[in-house]
Amino acid sequence: MKQLWIFPLVVLAGMGLSVEAGLLGPLGEEIGHIWATLGIFALGSILLTFGLIFGRPRLTLLFKQPRWQLAGGILGPVYVVSLTIATPHIGVGLTMVGILFGQIATSLVIDHWGLLGSSKRAVDKYRISALIAILAALWLIQ
């Protein structure tokens, strides 16, 4: 498997999401959920701006893409607001397992049907079993 290095990368990204939820929950309780989300995105925007300054500008290419591909810009803040609201009430663990269930269920649909430009990957009994295991974890961790 040539892409073996990707697995530690995605595990670290998942770990980062849990840390982000742990940070955002208390921040949202203190300053408000929308303000916490704005603060996180503002900091991220500042960091990404350095990439634009030191990289080749590709803004014109961005707006030549189909508009539906830019919908991720809406989904990011919705995700962060959800983290900010849910974490203080149900904890980081339950929030992350709930998000994981939603991600896996949607990912299986996208893979199975080859939606959003992805390659088709059939959903088999192993993938369904994994989804059921995550659902069981969601029930057990609450």
The domain locations on the chain are: 6-141
**Is pLDDT of 66 > 90?**
no
Query: What is the average pLDDT across 37-53?
Result: 86
Which pLDDT score is estimated for 1? 61
Instruction: State pLDDT tens for residues 98-119.
Output: 999 999 999 999 999 999 888 9
Task: Establish how many alpha carbons lie within 13 A of residue 18's alpha carbon, considering only the half-sphere containing its beta carbon.
Answer: 13
Query: What is the average pLDDT across 85-97?
Result: 92
Nearest CA among 91, 100, 94 for reference residue 24:
91
Higher pLDDT among residues 47 and 60, named by residue:
47
Which pLDDT score is estimated for 17? 86
Instruction: State pLDDT tens for residues 5-36.
Output: 887 888 888 888 888 988 889 999 999 999 99
Higher pLDDT among residues 56 and 112, named by residue:
112
Instruction: State pLDDT tens for residues 69-82.
Output: 888 888 888 889 99
pLDDT-derived band at 57, boundaries 50, 70, 90: low
DSSP the chain: -TTTTHHHHHHHHHHHHHHHHHHHHHHHHHH-HHHHHHHHHHHHHHHHHHHHHHS---HHHHTTS-GGGGGHHHHHHHHHHHHHHHHHHHHHHHHHHHHHHHHHHHHHHHHHHTGGGPPP----HHHHHHHHHHHHHHHHH-
